[in-house]
Each structure stands twice: as C-alpha cells, then as structure tokens.
Amino acid sequence: MADPNSKNPENVPGKFYVDNTCSGCQVCVSTAPDNFKMSDDEEYAYVYKQPENDDELDACQEAMDNCPEESIGDDGE
C-alpha cells in the first residue's frame, strides 16, 4: 500500500501520487501516459498531471490497480 508520507517529490498535488517504493517498471506510464512520467534517471515514476476527465481517471485507477509494487496511492481528494 502506498505511503502518503513517502511521496516522490515530483508528484503534482492532488488525488493520485507515487511513493518511494516504485521500482520503475513503467506499468503506470504505459497505462496512463497522460498522467504518469518517469524520473529523469528512469528509476521511478511520478504523477505529472492529475486526471482531468473520466478517461484519465479510469486510466489512473487502472494503473493503481495494476502496480506490482502498490506504489500508487489515492488521497481521495
């Protein structure tokens, strides 16, 4: 389960975030490319844009559900 106290610093504020347990597998980037990006060194992902419509929200939820490390969290905002 993602830890809201360990969010990667690049995450934009909002509902979804990635914490420091991310292994850099890129599942979220593949699933929701409009919302997730890899860090410059490609070691971990982060949320660069919160979902702005139902399609993006569904993609972010799918990314969270499929994250093998359970590194994606939902603050419920």
For 14-61, the pLDDT digits (tens) are 999 999 999 999 999 999 999 999 999 999 999 999 999 999 999 999
Do 66 and 12 contact (CB within 8 A), yes or no? no
Do 24 and 37 contact (CB within 8 A), yes or no? no
pLDDT higher than 90, residue 13: yes
Q: What's the confidence (pLDDT) of residue 66?
A: 98
Query: Using CA atoms, how far apart are residues 26 and 29, in angstroms rounded to an integer?
Result: 5
Confidence of residue 76 (pLDDT cuts 50, 70, 90): confident
Domains of the chain listed by start with CATH number: 4-74 (3.30.70.20)
Question: Measuring CA to CA, which residue among 22, 51, 53 is closest to residue 39?
Answer: 22
Question: Measuring CA to CA, which residue among 72, 77, 60, 56 is closest to residue 4?
Answer: 72
pLDDT higher than 80, residue 77: no
Q: What's the confidence (pLDDT) of residue 9?
A: 96
